[in-house]
Structure 1
Amino acid sequence: MVVKSTALRIYGKEDMRVENVVLPEIKDDEILAEVISDSMCMSSWKLAKEGEDHKKTPKDLKNNPVMVGHEFSGKILKVGPKWSNRFHAGQNFVIQPNLARDDTPFVPGYSYPYIGGDATKIIIPNEVMELGCLIPFNGDSYYEGSLCEPVSCVIAAFNAQFHLIPHSYKHKMGIKPNGNMLIIGGTGPMGLLAIDYALHADTKPKQLIVTDIDQDKLNRAQHLYPSKEVDIQFINTKDLTIEEQENILKTKTNGQGFDDTFLMISVVPLAKMAAKLLNEDGCLNQFAGPIKKDFTVPINLYDVHYNFTHLVGTSGGNAENESQAAKLIADHRLNVAKVITHVLGLNAAAETTLSQPNIGGGKKVVYTHKNFDRIELAKVDPNTELGKILSKHDGLWSHEAEQWIMNNMPDIDE
Structure 2
Amino acid sequence: MKVKGVRLYGVKDIRLEEFEIPEIAEDEILLKIECNGIAVSTLKEITLAQRHLRVPKNIKKNPVLIGHEFSGTIAKVGTRWKEDYQEGKQFVLVPEIPHQIESPGYSYPYFGGAATYCIIPADVIEKGCLLQYEADSFYELAQAQALYSIVGSFHSNYHSKEGTHDHISGIKEGGNTIILGGAGPMGLMAIRYVLGMKKKPRRLVITDTNQERLEKVRKMIPMQEGTRHGIELYYINPSMFTDSVPVLLAITNEKGYDDVFVYAPPKCVAEI
Say yes or no: TM over 0.5: yes
Give, as a single letter, the amino acid of the residue that structure 1 aligns with 2:81.
W
Matched with 1:126 is 122
Q: Higher relative CO (CA 8 A, sep ≥ 6), structure 1 or 2?
A: 1
Q: CA deviation at 1:188?
A: 2.0
Tell whether 2:254 aligns with 1:258: no
Matched with 1:231 is 232
Select which of 94, 97, 106 maps to 2:92: 94
Select which of 54, 57, 61 maps to 1:56: 54
1:359-380 CA-to-partner distances (Å, cap 9, x unmatched) read xxxxxxxxxxxxxxxxxxxxxx
CA distance in 1, matches of 2:247, 2:3: 54
User: What is the identity percentage for the equivalent residue pairs of Structure 1 and Structure 2?
Assistant: 37
Q: CA deviation at 1:76?
A: 0.3
Give, as a single letter, the amino acid of the residue that structure 2 aligns with 1:258.
Y
| 1:99-178 equivalent positions in 2, closer than 5 A | 99-102=97-100, 105-165=101-161, 168-178=164-174
CA distance in 1, matches of 2:172, 2:232: 15
CA distance in 1, matches of 2:260, 2:95: 26
Q: CA deviation at 1:166?
A: 6.7
1:225-253 CA-to-partner distances (Å, cap 9, x unmatched) read 23221221101111323xx3121112111
- C-alpha contact 2:69 2:143 (8 A) present in aligned 1: yes
Q: CA deviation at 1:269?
A: 5.1
Matched with 2:23 is 25
CA distance in 1, matches of 2:110, 2:269: 41
Give, as a single letter, the amino acid of the residue that structure 1 aligns with 2:139.
Y
Give, as a single letter, the amino acid of the residue that structure 2 aligns with 1:5.
V
Count of aligned positions: 267
Q: CA deviation at 1:179?
A: 2.0
1:13-43 CA-to-partner distances (Å, cap 9, x unmatched) read 1111111122211111100110100111111
Q: Which runs of 5+ in 1 are unaligned?
A: 274-414
- C-alpha contact 1:180 1:207 (8 A) present in aligned 2: yes
1:318-364 CA-to-partner distances (Å, cap 9, x unmatched) read xxxxxxxxxxxxxxxxxxxxxxxxxxxxxxxxxxxxxxxxxxxxxxx
Q: TM-score scaled by structure 2? A: 0.92
CA distance in 2, matches of 1:218, 1:31: 42
Which SS does the other structure have where 1:150 is aligned?
A: helix
- C-alpha contact 1:164 1:172 (8 A) present in aligned 2: yes
CA distance in 1, matches of 2:142, 2:250: 39
Give, as a single letter, the amino acid of the residue that structure 1 aligns with 2:189.
L
Q: Which runs of 5+ in 2 are unaligned?
A: none
Q: CA deviation at 1:143?
A: 0.6
CA distance in 2, matches of 1:8, 1:99: 22
Q: CA deviation at 1:128?
A: 1.3
- C-alpha contact 1:7 1:67 (8 A) present in aligned 2: yes
Q: CA deviation at 1:98?
A: 2.0
- C-alpha contact 1:97 1:109 (8 A) present in aligned 2: no
- C-alpha contact 2:177 2:258 (8 A) present in aligned 1: yes
| 1:216-227 equivalent positions in 2, closer than 5 A | 216-226=212-222, 227=225
**Do the aligned partners of residues 49 and 269 (structure 1) sit closer, same or farther apart at CA in structure 2, a change above 3 Å counting?**
closer
Which SS does the other structure have where 1:238 is aligned?
A: helix
